[in-house]
Amino acid sequence: MSYDPNNIFATILKGDMPCHKVYEDETALVMMDIFPQSKGHTLVIPKAASRNLLDADPAALSALMPLVQRVAQAVKAATNADGVRLAQFNEAPAGQTVFHLHFHLIPVYEGVALGA
Ligand code: 5GP
């Protein structure tokens, strides 16, 4: 499967569509998910054009993971959640709906079902 440069996250990265941005640097954008599974559901979106984990550059991935960790820590601290789920889906049968690599950081609150 190839990368579609007109996917919705590429459009947001180009600045052609608004988002609730919480952080940006030269390698990645961090924004709130438009349909949150829980309060504080955040997405880390690397700027490099890859469809998902399967075609991502390994060096870019290892450079990205410290940011994913920092966002997980910030999300937990900001929401006072009991835990944080890291989720990431590759291809439609696995649940991917936007075909630009991204990582979900989903706060989990004891006794509250995700998506509730
Ligand atoms: P996945 O592809 O991993 O299943 O998830 C894509 C995620 O992107 C979903 O959680 C969905 O709610 C979110 N999403 C889809 N379109 C937009 C958008 O235009 N803006 C934002 N902020 N999130 C989006």
The ipTM, to two decimals, is 0.99
Q: How far is the CA of 80 from the centre of ligand 1 (A)?
A: 23
**pLDDT tens-digit series, residues 70-105:** 999 999 999 999 999 999 999 999 999 999 999 999
Q: Give the position, in ligand 1's atom list, of the atom nearest the Cα of 88.
A: 3
Evaluate whether 12 touches 47 at the Cβ level (below 8 Å).
Answer: no
The angle subtended at Cα 10 by Cα 55 and Cα 43, nearest 5°, is 80
pLDDT of residue 24: 98
CATH 3.40.50.970 given to domain 8-108: no
Q: Is 104 a catalytic residue?
A: no
Of 7, 9, 13, 34, the residue with max ligand 1 atoms within 8 A of its CB, to mutate for a pocket test, comes to: 34
pTM above 0.80, yes or no: yes
pLDDT of residue 1: 83
Per-residue exposure over 23-60, b if at least 16 CB sit within 10 Å of its own CB, e if not: eeeeebbbbebeebbbebbbbbbbbbebbbbeebeeee
Q: Give the position, in ligand 1's atom list, of the atom nearest the Cα of 102.
A: 3
Q: Is the pLDDT of residue 116 over 90?
A: no
Q: CA-to-CA distance for 88 and 105, rounded, in angstroms?
A: 9
Task: Assess whether the C-beta atom of 83 lies below 6 angstroms from ligand 1.
Answer: no
Evaluate whether 81 touches 112 at the Cβ level (below 8 Å).
Answer: no
Can you tell me the mean pLDDT for 48-62? 97
Average pLDDT, the chain: 97
Query: Which of 12-16, 75-79, 80-84, 111-115 shows the lowest per-residue confidence on average (mean pLDDT)?
Result: 111-115
Task: Assess whether the C-beta atom of 36 lies below 6 angstroms from ligand 1.
Answer: no
